[in-house]
């Protein structure tokens, strides 16, 4: 039986574009959910992991932007959920398994500190939100939750790459810039500064979902067989333009 490829967040946008590219590569499991509670999401992730005997490629595009949910929900979907999923999938790993977790260029835009890094490096801690609050980071603030959760996802991939490597598996993150999706347009309506970022970027335009999906498809292919534990920034030069 062929290993199973999985796309989470496949109903629209970049997830749908990735699913289209991976469909010819073998058995494909698609997942998407608009849940309301962390416990429900965790149960779904465990059920999904149980449905995969041998993991081929996993592309995790699911995420919430600042205009879509309050801060704690963003933390749960963007960082806590992926941490649970990567751990739950360990029994399904085999030589050649690979996962790409979608982060964001926003993860490059928040200054880090050892204190914050120590907290976001353990996102499944029972005291995670209390620790953020004690440090002066309001866990209900959606803008901060989005940027720091994406930085945390990049760090999660970097730290877990060694665990996956012991199984002969690879693990990467991909950080898109501003993309012409429903989520991207929603954020642009709420954040006029995004138009300035697009204008000032090296390519001076938004990306189409397919442009990012093609990078993800490359990363999970054998052509990227020596890439792991790193983030790939696909932002049209927006971060470079910040100096």
In the three-class reduction of DSSP (H, G, I as helix; E, B as strand; rest coil), residue 211 is classed as helix
- β-strand pairing of 28-31 with 55-60: unpaired
Nearest partner of 25 among 225, 208, 227, 218, judged by Cα: 218
Domain limits for position 41 = 4-242
Nearest partner of 143 among 80, 62, 76, 68, judged by Cα: 68
Q: What is the pTM of this model?
A: 0.88
Q: How confident is the model at residue 41 (pLDDT cuts 50, 70, 90)?
A: very low
CATH number at residue 110: 3.40.50.720
Which positions ≥6 away from 32 have C-beta within 8 Å? 8, 9, 10, 11, 12, 15, 62
pLDDT attached to residue 33: 62
Nearest partner of 25 among 2, 59, 53, judged by Cα: 2
The pLDDT tens digits of the residues spanning 106-115 come to 999 988 899 9
The pLDDT tens digits of the residues spanning 106-153 come to 999 988 899 999 999 999 999 999 999 999 999 999 999 999 999 999
DSSP code at position 24? G
* Total domains present in the chain: 1
Q: What are phi and psi of 108, to 5 degrees?
A: -90, -5
The pLDDT tens digits of the residues spanning 7-36 come to 888 777 778 888 888 888 878 887 776 544
Strands (DSSP E) contained in 131-202 are 170-176
Which positions ≥6 away from 159 have C-beta within 8 Å? 121
Nearest partner of 108 among 78, 150, 141, 72, judged by Cα: 150
In the three-class reduction of DSSP (H, G, I as helix; E, B as strand; rest coil), residue 58 is classed as strand
Nearest partner of 65 among 57, 55, 74, 56, judged by Cα: 74
CA separation for the pair 81, 103 (Å, rounded):
13
pLDDT attached to residue 36: 42
The pLDDT tens digits of the residues spanning 67-105 come to 889 999 999 999 999 999 999 999 999 999 999 999 999
Q: Order of strands across the sheet with 55-60? A: 28-31, 4-8, 55-60, 98-102, 170-176, 231-234
Segment 45-57 shows an average pLDDT of 71
Residue of 141 and 190 predicted with greater confidence: 141
Residue 2, pLDDT above cutoff 80: no
Nearest partner of 57 among 224, 177, 233, judged by Cα: 224
């Amino acid at each position: 039986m062929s290993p199973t490829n999985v796309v989470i967040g496949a109903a629209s946008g970049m997830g749908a574009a990735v699913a289209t590219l991976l469909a010819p590569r073998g058995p494909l499991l698609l997942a998407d959910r608009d849940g309301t509670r962390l416990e429900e999401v965790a149960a779904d992730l465990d059920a999904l992991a149980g449905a995969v005997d041998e993991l081929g490629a996993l592309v995790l595009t699911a995420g919430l932007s600042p205009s879509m949910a309050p801060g704690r929900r963003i933390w749960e979907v963007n960082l806590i959920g992926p941490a649970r999923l990567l751990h739950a999938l360990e029994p399904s790993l085999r030589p050649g398994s690979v996962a790409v977790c979608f982060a964001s260029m926003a993860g490059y835009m928040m200054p880090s500190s050892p204190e914050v890094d120590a907290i976001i490096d353990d996102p499944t801690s029972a005291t995670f939100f209390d620790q953020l609050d004690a440090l002066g980071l309001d866990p209900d603030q959606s803008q901060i939750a989005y940027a720091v959760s994406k930085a945390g996802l990049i760090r999660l991939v970097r730290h877990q790459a060694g665990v996956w490597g012991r199984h002969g598996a690879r693990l990467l993150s991909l950080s898109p810039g501003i993309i012409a999706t429903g989520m991207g347009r929603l954020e642009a309506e709420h954040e006029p500064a995004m138009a300035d970022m697009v204008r000032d970027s090296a390519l001076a335009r938004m990306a189409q979902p397919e442009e990012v999906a093609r990078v993800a498809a490359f990363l999970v292919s054998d052509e990227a067989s020596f890439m792991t534990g790193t983030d790939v920034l696909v932002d049209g030069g927006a971060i470079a333009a910040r100096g």
